[in-house]
Structure 1
Amino acid sequence: MMSEAQLDAPKVVQRSSANLTFRRLMRDPASLLAAVFILALVAFAIGAPWFAGWTGHDAIEQYRDTGLSPVGLPVGPNHEFLLGADQLGRDVLVRIAYGARISLAVGVAAALAASFIGVTIGMTAGYFGGWIDTVLGRLMDLVMSVPFLLCALALVSVFGPSLWLSICVIVFFSWTTIGRVIRAETASLARRDFVQASRSLGAGNLSIMLRDILPNLSVPIIIYTTMMIPNSIVFEATLSFLGLGIVPPTPSWGGMLAEAGANSIYLVAWWLVLFPGLALLGSTLAFNILGDGLRDALDPKGRRVKRRRKPAKPVTEG
């Protein structure tokens, strides 16, 4: 039988690390707002065909009779074109929705591929060390020294602009960021006692890397992968803006901004720059805020906590 004191004692509730991470994230209003915006953006991109059917406008079809004024200028936001029309009479709202599909697809695919390559090379270099670490480390330095735009121009001149080429270029210039971090973390973990114990028990190198080291790298992998998504979105928009990315008339945010700058049409049609620019700014800002929130939630000990210190009392003599 349990005593009354034992019955009245508060029960200790054990929570998993995932539950604790979720609770910390829920206490961060900025991260919650960013997560809601990202979910809304994903729903907006998935619902692009619904927006096209609801407005009755296609993403690439030109509505010169209703989308252009009698003098040939694009019409502004109205009841038929909620975000206005572009210089060819196409619906800006529908094009932004389809452009969100391109940006999210490129951002997520490039971030995942870059993370996979960076984690693989970084773990290999950090675990084995020696000449393998030297060769792979110099490979990272070589990739980081290659000019981004010159490489993109060279590849486009040979293969032509395409979606897959954009993803490959972004992955090529992104994997070194997470690769250097994983390399340093793996080199530190490889000297820990639990790794030495696994090695003394006869575990192979691949088994140690996958079962012992990789789970301890989950926090930086999740954080840096999330932070690479907005960078990939910006890279894709930059390539499309320069004519090196998505081939027109397929809508993309960078391509829409480039078309708005042609012949300075944005001077009389401000909505051609405002709405695609806000979509690009909002998506990158939301992913960056969410990445910061995940970093604080997954690694609370690494946060910089500002504590107020009480001023020391003056020492009085006597």
Structure 2
Amino acid sequence: MFLKKDEDRLKNLNSLNNISMKKFMSNKLALMGLIIIITLILISILAPFLTKYDISATDLYNIRSAPNTEHILGTDEVGRDVFTRLLYGGRISILVGVTSMVVQLVIGVTLGAIAGFYGGIIDKIIMRIIDIIMCFPFFVIAISIAAIVGPSVYNLIFIIGILMWPNIARIVRAEILSLKEEEYIMAARLLGLNRIEIIFKHLLPNVMSPILVAATLSIANGILTEASLSFLGMGVKLPQPSWGNMLVSAQNMAVLQNEWWLWIPAGVMVILIVLSINFVGDGLRDALDPKIKA
């Protein structure tokens, strides 16, 4: 009987997956966002083949030069090619966004599932930790930690990961609380499955939809946070380029008014990828919500 129910649930799941895929593919903004994200990732990976310059190579005869045939996006204050740094900077910004999202998922999903399934004193302790983290202004704590541990890519990933996981934990906890009293979970308990097996084999697979949406938005938040902290000098350390620390040039009014190539390209890249990720996140949310018709 249970095998028959499992087969029926698997068929229904496959049917829902097909419907969700069709709904996502019919969303033009989400599809456009996905294409832009893939394109930006590819040009960042293929940076050595798209430019002949090194990220630290300087041209003392072309300092702060405007875009020309030799440097298509001009050069910065020490003669480095802006286009080259833009391509390689995408690697760092995207890396920070993706890896910080993974850290958030590991911590948030684990603690959210434990809090929702076990309840009681364990739930209260985890929720109070979440409340403490969320009650402080994010950037105040992030800047304070960055000042202590120092600016670097790995420290930035660590800071974003440990400060942003509560949102995912709350989502997972709420979903687990609504699912743990379902009949199939009761049946799993009667069959003798232990709690870990129930959480990872039966509960978490059924909350993957909101987790997936939250994960995409976490990448966007991670990229924005990297840009913000690097702009303040607390993120990626020079001479390693990132879209965030390339925007540091915009702190100078003369640069803002006369040398647009030093800050507009990096700003456009940040806006473009964050908007694209949000479009994909919205598309996934709509596609995975059975209440919304295709």
Say yes or no: TM over 0.5.
yes
State the identity %: 38
Letter in 2 for 1:60: S
Tell me the distance in 2 between the aligned counterparts of 1:170 and 1:228.
10
1:253 partner amino acid: W
Aligned equivalent of 1:49: 48
Q: Give the TM-score normalised by structure 1.
A: 0.84
Any conservation in 2 of the 1:59–1:91 contact (CA below 8 Å)? yes
State the match for 1:29 in structure 2: 28
Q: Which runs of 5+ in 2 are unaligned?
A: 1-12
Q: Which residue of 2 aligns with 1:290?
A: 280
The question of 1:108 aligning with 2:107 is answered: no
Q: TM-score, normalised by structure 2?
A: 0.91
**Residues paired across the two proteins, number:** 282
**Mapped partners of 1:84, 1:264: distance in 2:** 16
Q: Is the 8 A contact 1:59 1:251 kept in 2?
A: yes
Q: Which amino acid in 2 is paired with 1:59? A: I
Question: What's 1:214 paired with?
Answer: 204
Partner of 2:237: 247
Aligned residue for 1:202, secondary structure, equals coil
Q: How many Å separate the matches in 2 of 1:51 and 1:247? A: 24
Whether the aligned pair in 2 keeps the contact of 1:219 and 1:298 (CA below 8 Å) is yes
Alignment check: 8 A CA contact 2:109 2:169 kept: yes
Aligned to 2:5: none
Structure 1: tracts of 5 or more residues without a match: 1-13, 69-73, 306-318
Partner of 2:118: 128
1:98 positional shift = 0.7
Partner of 2:55: 59
Q: What letter corresponds to residue 40 of structure 1 in structure 2?
A: T
Deviates more, 1:227-236 or 1:258-267: 258-267
- Alpha-carbon RMSD: 1.7
For residues 152 and 181 of structure 1, what CA distance do their matches in structure 2 show?
Answer: 23
RCO higher in 1 or 2 (8 Å CA, sep ≥ 6)? 2
One-letter amino acid of the counterpart of residue 167, structure 1: I
1:123 alignment partner AA: A
SS where residue 58 of structure 1 aligns? coil
- Paired position in structure 2 for 1:309: none
Determine the structure 1 residue equivalent to 2:130: 140
On the 8 A contact 1:52/1:59 being kept in 2, the answer is no
1:87/1:265 contact within 8 Å kept = no
Amino acid at match of 1:130: G
Structure index of larger Rg = 1
1:15, CA displacement in angstroms?
6.0
CA deviation after TM superposition for structure 1 residue 230, in Å: 0.5
Distance, in Å, in 2 between the alignment partners of 1:37 and 1:96 is 16
1:101-156 deviations in whole A, cap 9, x for unaligned? 00110101111110121111001000011111111111110111233233233323
The one-letter code sitting in structure 2 at the alignment partner of 1:183 is: R
In structure 2, how many angstroms separate the alpha carbons of the residues matched to 1:221 and 1:137? 18
